[in-house]
A = this chain, B = another copy of it.
Amino acid sequence: MSPFNISGQRIKQDKSNTKVEEMTGSNLVRNKTRTGNYFEDFRIGMRIRHATPRTLTDGDRSLYIALTGSRDVVASAKTVSELVGLAQHPMDPFLVFNLAFGKTVPDISLNAVANLGYADGRFLAPVSAGDTLRVESEVIGLREVSNGKSGVVYTRSTAFNQHEKEVLTWVRWVLVQKRDPLAPPVSTLIPQLPSCVGSEAFAVPDYGPGVSTVPSETGSQDFWEDYEVGERIDHPSAMTVNESDHSTATRLYQNTAKVHFDLQLMSKTPAGKRLVYG
């Protein structure tokens, strides 16, 4: 169950290969610092089992509402989830995505310069309080950028529950720094990705007849036939993001990317401040 790459070699998944040994007074500084993977550490087909599985609870449900103000009626009210025929009270899917995404950061994007895109994200099974998620990723594409300082890593990540059932999958590509600008170039592979997820791929629960009562619980007067392709909808309720809000969210998701946390570090960057999670 340890992380091995496809050749059966153990992956130094979140530990620099560069030995950092120096004397500080009489004490030895050893190589236990997790510095994350750099671009040249990735190989096509490499599979990573991410650390720290996470049990979701109703505490996460409340915190997600407190962080977002979400009024997703099924996640908000157990009575409504029962009305629509669900056996368990599901979590907000974006809470699940954020938690699963956070698991991939220590291995994939601790040295990221920029998060570039997502594709083919699919929610495959509902997640409820008490379920435990673990996440695996496979490197499906690599492309070094022209200045030789970094490269794009494409990964397919999948979250599993405690019954080894897939609950969520997505592709992400991210610009990752090279440790050594002189590292030899890797072979380039840009994966083919769908431009959208077709409705045939949707995992729609088997709703009961009570689903027809949901509009009275949401208060919405807009139905399927009221929407059309290309329509624009104004959402005027703006929300200012406080520093503590995004720090708290990022910690809840156990996301370890330091750009979200270290003001001293980030004050030296062009942004001059911490980045908001997302």
Q: Give A contacts to B, CB under 8 Å.
A: 1-3, 12-15, 20, 24, 26-30, 32-33, 35, 49-55, 57-63, 65-71, 73, 76-80, 89, 106-107, 129-130, 132, 134, 162, 213, 215-222, 226, 230-240, 242-245, 247-252, 254-256, 258, 261-265, 274
Q: Which residues of B contact A232 (CB under 8 A)?
A: 24, 27-30
The one of B13, B60, B255, B262 that contacts A219, using a Cβ cutoff of 8 Å = B13
**A72, closest chain B residue (CB):** B52
**A61, closest chain B residue (CB):** B59
A162 near B79 with CB under 8 A, answer yes
The one of B58, B77, B213, B216 that contacts A59, using a Cβ cutoff of 8 Å = B58
Q: Which residues of B contact A35 (CB under 8 A)?
A: 236
**A57, closest chain B residue (CB):** B58
Task: Write the nearest CB–CB distance from A267 to chain B, whole angstroms.
Answer: 10
Q: Which residues of B contact A12 (CB under 8 A)?
A: 221
Task: Write the nearest CB–CB distance from A8 to chain B, whole angstroms.
Answer: 15
**Complex Cα spacing A218 to B1, Å:** 11
B66 near A248 with CB under 8 A, answer yes
B237 near A258 with CB under 8 A, answer yes
Q: Which residues of B contact A15 (CB under 8 A)?
A: 221
**Complex Cα spacing A4 to B55, Å:** 42
B13 near A69 with CB under 8 A, answer no
B77 near A55 with CB under 8 A, answer yes
Q: Which residues of B contact A238 (CB under 8 A)?
A: 258, 261-262, 264-265
B3 near A219 with CB under 8 A, answer yes
**Complex Cα spacing A67 to B254, Å:** 10
B132 near A78 with CB under 8 A, answer yes
Q: Identify 14 new A-B residue pairs, CB closer than 8 A, beyond the known A51-B217, A66-B248.
A: A14-B219, A20-B234, A28-B230, A28-B231, A32-B233, A33-B236, A52-B217, A55-B77, A69-B251, A70-B254, A237-B262, A239-B262, A240-B247, A244-B248
B2 near A216 with CB under 8 A, answer yes
A29 near B218 with CB under 8 A, answer no
24 residue pairs bridging A and B, Cβ less than 8 Å apart? A1-B217, A24-B232, A27-B232, A30-B233, A33-B236, A51-B71, A51-B73, A51-B219, A52-B76, A52-B218, A53-B77, A53-B80, A57-B58, A58-B129, A59-B62, A62-B63, A65-B254, A66-B248, A66-B251, A68-B251, A106-B219, A237-B256, A238-B265, A240-B263
